[in-house]
Amino acid sequence: MIVVEGLGKRFGDVQVIDGIDAVFQKGRVNQIIGRSGSGKSVMAKCMVGLHRPEKGRVLYEGRSFHDMDAEEKRGIRQRIGMLFQGSALFDSLTVIENVMFPLRMFGLMAKSEMEDRAHTCLKRVSIIDKDQLFPAELSGGMQKRVGIARAIAMNPEYLFCDEPNSGLDPQTSIVIDDLIKEITEEFGTTTIVITHDMNSVMETGEHILFIHKGRKWWEGTREQLLRSDNKELNEFVFAGSLMREVKRSLTGEE
Amino acid sequence: MNILYHIGRYVLLLRETFARPERLSLYWSRTVEEMDLLGVKSLGIVALLSAFMGAVITIQTKTNIDSPLIQAWVVGFATRQSTILEFSPTVISLILAGKVGSNIAAEIGSMRVKEQIDALDIMGVNSAGYLILPKIVATMLINPFLIMISMFLGIFGGWLAGVQTGVVVSDDFIMGIQLGFKPYHVVYALIKTVVFAFIITTVSAYQGYYTRGGTREVGISSTRAVVYSDVMILLANLVLTQALLL
């Protein structure tokens, strides 16, 4: 479980996020949604320690991340898997080397074991016979899958996904969403997905946090989201005609 | 204030870079790769430049001291001194700052904008150490060899051009390069080379590591890496020359 208490981050004169409180439960897909520039990625970066917040705390199993010493932080980070918007695979390494990278770096197992583990992760994301290719030789969807394989290589307890559907076609997006959901259930991870893709929210969102103007504007489940009367949330969620149609069919409202 | 900010951040980056490596064997294998990429692959340009510059130094020296009062061996002597003391360690390092420095800044800068450095940090890897330390060690180990090769080829190029063009007789040239040879001058040149290698790698890595934005900013970082490395090399050259030769 991850608890966020009064989180605030400022860049120069701009207060990007302010006073955000949230609890992200284990074993379910938590989604942070909001418009571009609303502060959701900054919030996630504060949570994984890429930014240091000016205010508030991020608690991993009750311990404040930013108050930990370097060694403790490293220990927590080894329990975090992250899928980046652009996959962030290492260009000079092959697919298998990318997945094996965290295992090699921390010398947790013998080489044959590392290869077995990497193959298991690649098989889990349905990447077969591509392990000797370089990231540049893969499609965007495949790169995302390899990114997921690398993120789960260390058996993470916390999985962060930053815009996992960005740049993908609708079918591939569904494959990635399903994969994130399955992995969350299978490994019991605390999963946090940052997205503004409403299809993804409808597919996988179990606990949804809406960030607006750097503040937590709304929080609830997928079902509550469809019936919410929050003005800003509705403007964001039902901006597209497809979502408006969904709402109409559910509530009968025009 | 801006300069102080950059100096402070540069020192902090160096402190992170020299922190205890997670896995020494992995760092060492990266160091060997970097020695090949940054050192061995620079051998061609270093060899070409050295041979031609040595040739030009010989011909220009002869042209400028063409007097019956000056003995013929002076051409070989001047070529040796220019090559060992200044051309090979300093000019070749300035050229390496262009080739190697821009390479380092572009590589690390691209990794930054593609979030690959964030990925390393989140894994719990010391990204500065993993990316920069092998490059520093590699260049500080391999550059002295490049410079020694450059010294040899510079003098050889001078001899070849001098003899082939007839501006100097082979025996006079060889006598000149042997006369009053001080091994300390080579030591001085190699000390400069190691310091310059450190400057090139760390200044360029600093520019790459703190790149923000996209591909345009990566280009700007590469340019800055070369310019700032060159300025720092020239300053260090002055300080080291005063400290080691005077």
pLDDT band with cut points at 50, 70 and 90 for residue A54: very high
Residues of B in contact with A105 (CB under 8 A): 22-23, 26, 123, 125, 130
Q: Which of A69-73, B140-144, B162-166 has the lowest mean pLDDT?
A: A69-73
Residue A49 burial (CB count, 10 A): 19
Q: What is the pLDDT of residues A162-201, one digit of tens each?
A: 988 888 888 888 888 888 998 899 889 999 999 988 888 8
Contact (CB<8Å) B119/A84: yes
- Predicted confidence at residue A200, as pLDDT, reads 87
With a cut of 90, say whether residue B45 has pLDDT above it: yes
- Predicted confidence at residue A205, as pLDDT, reads 85
Q: Which residue of B has its CA nearest to A76?
A: B124
With a cut of 90, say whether residue A29 has pLDDT above it: yes
Parallel, antiparallel, or unpaired for β A55-60 and A2-11? antiparallel
With a cut of 80, say whether residue A133 has pLDDT above it: yes
Partners of A82 in the β-ladder: A160
Q: What is the mean pLDDT of residues A56-82?
A: 91
- Predicted confidence at residue B134, as pLDDT, reads 97
- Can you tell me the distance from the alpha carbon of B50 to that of B91, in angstroms, rounded to the nearest whole number? 10
Shortest distance, CA B196 to any CA of chain A (angstroms): 27
- Can you tell me the distance from the alpha carbon of A154 to that of A150, in angstroms, rounded to the nearest whole number? 8
Q: Which residue of B has its CA nearest to A102?
A: B123
Give yes or no for a contact between A150 and A102, defined as CB atoms under 8 angstroms apart: yes
Q: What is the ipTM of this complex?
A: 0.86
Angle, CA A74 vertex, CA A73 and CA A78 arms, to 5°: 115
With a cut of 70, say whether residue A253 has pLDDT above it: no
Q: Which residue of B has its CA nearest to A86?
A: B114
Residue B59 burial (CB count, 10 A): 18
Tell me which range, A67-76, A83-92, A194-203, B146-155, is most confidently predicted by mean pLDDT.
B146-155
- Predicted confidence at residue A10, as pLDDT, reads 93
Q: Which long-range contacts (CB under 8 A, 24 or more apart) does B126-131 make?
A: B126/B16, B126/B19, B126/B21, B126/B22, B128/B13, B128/B16, B128/B17, B128/B19, B128/B209, B129/B16, B129/B17, B129/B18, B129/B19, B129/B21, B129/B22, B129/B27, B130/A105, B130/B21, B130/B22, B130/B27, B130/B30, B131/B205, B131/B209
Greater model confidence, A32 or A238 = A32
With a cut of 90, say whether residue B142 has pLDDT above it: yes
- Predicted confidence at residue A42, as pLDDT, reads 92
Contact (CB<8Å) A105/B116: no
Q: Which of A82, A89, A108, A146 to mutate to test the interface with B (most CBs of B within 10 A)?
A: A82
Parallel, antiparallel, or unpaired for β A207-212 and A215-220? antiparallel
Contact (CB<8Å) B114/A88: yes
Could you give phi then psi for residue A13, rounded to 5 degrees? -90, -5
- Predicted confidence at residue B133, as pLDDT, reads 97
- Predicted confidence at residue A176, as pLDDT, reads 87
- Three state DSSP letters for chain B: CHHHHHHHHHHHHHHHHCCCCCCHHHHHHHHHHHHHHHHHHHHHHHHHHHHHHHHHHHHHHHHHCCCCCCCCCHHHHHHHHHHHHHHHHHHHHHHHHHHHHHHHHHHHHHHHHCCHHHHHHHHCCCHHHHHHHHHHHHHHHHHHHHHHHHHHHHHHHHHHHHHHHCCCCHHHHHHHHHCCCCHHHHHHHHHHHHHHHHHHHHHHHHHHHCCCCCHHHHHHHHHHHHHHHHHHHHHHHHHHHHHHHC
Contact (CB<8Å) B114/A86: yes
**What percentage of chain A exceeds 70 in pLDDT?**
97
With a cut of 70, say whether residue A254 has pLDDT above it: no
B interface residues, A as partner, C-beta within 8 Å: 22-23, 26, 110-111, 114-116, 118-119, 121-125, 130
Q: Which of A142-146, A230-234, B113-117 has the lowest mean pLDDT?
A: A230-234
- In 3D space, the residue among A156, A170, A148, A16 whose CA is nearest the CA of residue A89 turns out to be A148
- Sketch out chain A's domains with CATH numbers: 1-79+192-254 (3.40.50.300)
- Predicted confidence at residue A165, as pLDDT, reads 86
- Can you tell me the distance from the alpha carbon of B237 to that of B85, in angstroms, rounded to the nearest whole number? 11
Angle, CA B82 vertex, CA B79 and CA B85 arms, to 5°: 135
Q: Which of B20, B122, B130, B133 to mutate to test the interface with A (most CBs of A within 10 A)?
A: B122
Q: Which residue of B has its CA nearest to A47?
A: B122
- In 3D space, the residue among B1, B5, B9, B2 whose CA is nearest the CA of residue B203 turns out to be B9
- Can you tell me the distance from the alpha carbon of A4 to that of A24, in angstroms, rounded to the nearest whole number? 8
With a cut of 80, say whether residue A248 has pLDDT above it: no
Q: Which residue of B has its CA nearest to A153?
A: B123
Q: What is the pLDDT of residues B59-98, one digit of tens each?
A: 999 999 878 888 989 999 999 999 999 999 999 999 999 9
Q: Show Cβ contacts of residue B100 under 8 Å, excluding neighbours closer than 6 positions.
A: B38, B42, B139, B200, B201, B204
pLDDT band with cut points at 50, 70 and 90 for residue A203: confident
Q: What is the pLDDT of residues A103-130, one digit of tens each?
A: 998 877 888 999 999 999 999 888 888 9
Mean pLDDT of chain B: 95
- Can you tell me the distance from the alpha carbon of B243 to that of A87, in angstroms, rounded to the nearest whole number? 50
How many A×B Cβ pairs under 8 Å? 55
- Predicted confidence at residue A168, as pLDDT, reads 82
Contact (CB<8Å) B122/A50: yes
- In 3D space, the residue among B239, B53, B19, B41 whose CA is nearest the CA of residue B133 turns out to be B19
Take residue B226 and report the two structure tokens written for it. Answer: 């070369």
Could you give phi then psi for residue B195, rounded to 5 degrees? -65, -45
What's the half-sphere exposure (Cβ side, CA atoms, 13 Å) at A25?
A: 10
A interface residues, B as partner, C-beta within 8 Å: 45, 48-50, 73-78, 80, 82, 84-86, 88-91, 101-102, 104-107, 154, 160
